[in-house]
Chain A
């Protein structure tokens, strides 16, 4: 059997074991359902209206991915611009920092006024939480390139553009990926929080409805969906990191 298949099998075994421990603990210790329901009850709740959870998962995933992609693109671009134009960096970076001190709840209320209950509005909140760490880490990564390395390329007659594309940007990738892993989690949080501002579909909507109706099984069902989505997305980013930054943190 291939090592990847073995790893997947081990993971599956671990998940099943954790599920059994959960189920067993709730029954054995008589934990009251409003503190922690049985896993089987939660899965039953999902099986009862699978369409709602599937639609919520898709919608939230779309919001997260759009916000994350935009945050990554703008973050890297910001990092590049700030790296090349320190004056602009000194002018704008403090503004960005201030923007990040706005609680996401307050920002969400504004976004609803601007964009209404659209997919875009949620993506904007996911974007808002993602672009800043990516900006900062891109700048950090670009600035941390060994000056001797730059000098070597200059001695070969490299133009600033060649130095950027062949040296600085690839060298900044490990640092950028640190922010992307963080952004993967944050963009999901942003999308879910965005759904708390009045919408019909999404994991955040399911969470809110379950919470305020004190429907504990539905609450845990929504939490499971969020965890599933968050884990899958994080794993995707981590996989991309291993493929792209295969040399690791060697330098």
Chain B
């Protein structure tokens, strides 16, 4: 090969990336960081990914599972991940108070996913019976739900013993503690299988006027400002995936188990049913999936202010941005 041919070949090689099939030209690489390990509670994202909904909106998406040592807000704020499914409204508050430049673009669970579980045959029948009892909970948000709920019954922090909850619910099963915290879709399944549903008494925060919407979709302020089209596209594809899942749970579980085959199928099926209930509850019934229910979020904010979890009032209009959702027709957002 002479020099001219070599140059021509090099030029052609360099040009190759630009000669792509039409339509794929605008594909943007992005990643979604989940708040937890791969599970059916995230089925909608996996279905949308596997069915190519993200590609159709121009996003080449990688789904990164979360885990016990990861904080989604940090990864999104630092730019390591484009989108994040963050812990909850309380996580958004905490991040905004720490001046992390993140914005919430949608809320997945309209109701509190936590419940507090006692023995049906035990001494706890009402909230007032929590007095003097030992309760384990997570100090990552669930503790405030508990405090808020018990405040309704006139109980304050010193009236009961609150301990950090470990990975396993076994201490409750072994009757070492009186009340255990459970997510409706995860620990509650384990409790049912080990103790039996009929032997459990469940206290639901939302029944006592405490609603903390959780599982928030977050992006960095920079993404929200510079690439609103991409955020809209992400939400459109995500909602499409979830609509499919809510219509066909089995396909949702299949999609998740193709990524994590060792999961327990009955548990995942149960989880998806429970997670689905949380998604379509409250404001979502009228305004569609991922709706940001401002009055509920305002109430949560005020509760945290009152308990001085948040030291200064936050600008909720800036922290929660509904414009991306509202750019999509309501009909497309309904479950």
Contacts and interface: CB of A to CB of B under 8 A. Distances in A.
In the complex, is A directly touching B at CB under 8 Å? yes
Interface of A: 34, 45, 49, 51-53, 105, 108-109, 112-113, 116-117, 196-200, 205-206, 208-215, 218, 221
B259 A200 contact: yes
Nearest to B62: A117
Interface stretch (B63-71, B150-158, B239-247, B296-304): B63-71
A209 B263 contact: yes
B38 interface: yes
B267 A109 contact: no
B68 A208 contact: yes
Given A196-B69, A198-B64, A209 B262 contact: yes
23 contacts: A45-B262, A49-B262, A51-B261, A109-B69, A112-B80, A113-B78, A197-B69, A198-B34, A198-B65, A198-B67, A199-B64, A199-B65, A205-B65, A208-B67, A208-B68, A209-B37, A209-B263, A210-B262, A211-B167, A212-B37, A212-B167, A214-B169, A215-B262
B186 interface: yes
B172 to A, nearest CB: 12
A77 B315 CA distance: 54
B262 A112 contact: no
Main secondary structure of the interface of B (DSSP, over half): loop
Contacts, number: 81
Interface of B: 31, 33-34, 36-39, 62, 64-70, 74-75, 78, 80, 167-170, 186, 190, 194, 259-264, 267
Contacts of B167: 211-212, 214
A204 B75 CA distance: 21
Contacts of B70: 109, 112, 197-198
Contact of B267 (A52, A197, A213): A213
A53 B260 CA distance: 11
Contacts of A208: 37, 67-68
B33 to A, nearest CB: 7
Contacts of B68: 196, 208, 212
Main secondary structure of the interface of A (DSSP, over half): helix
Nearest to B271: A213
Contacts of A196: 67-69
A113 B80 contact: yes
A108 B267 CA distance: 30
A217 B7 CA distance: 60
B75 A112 contact: yes
Contacts of B190: 214
A249 B62 CA distance: 51
Contacts of B186: 212-213
B80 A200 contact: no
B260 A198 contact: no
Contacts of B262: 45, 49, 52-53, 206, 209-210, 215, 218, 221
Nearest to B72: A198
A197 B264 contact: no
Contacts of A109: 69-70
Contacts of A112: 70, 75, 80
Nearest to B79: A113
Given A52-B262, A197-B67, A209-B37, 5 more contacts: A34-B168, A198-B70, A200-B259, A209-B262, A211-B167
B69 A108 contact: yes
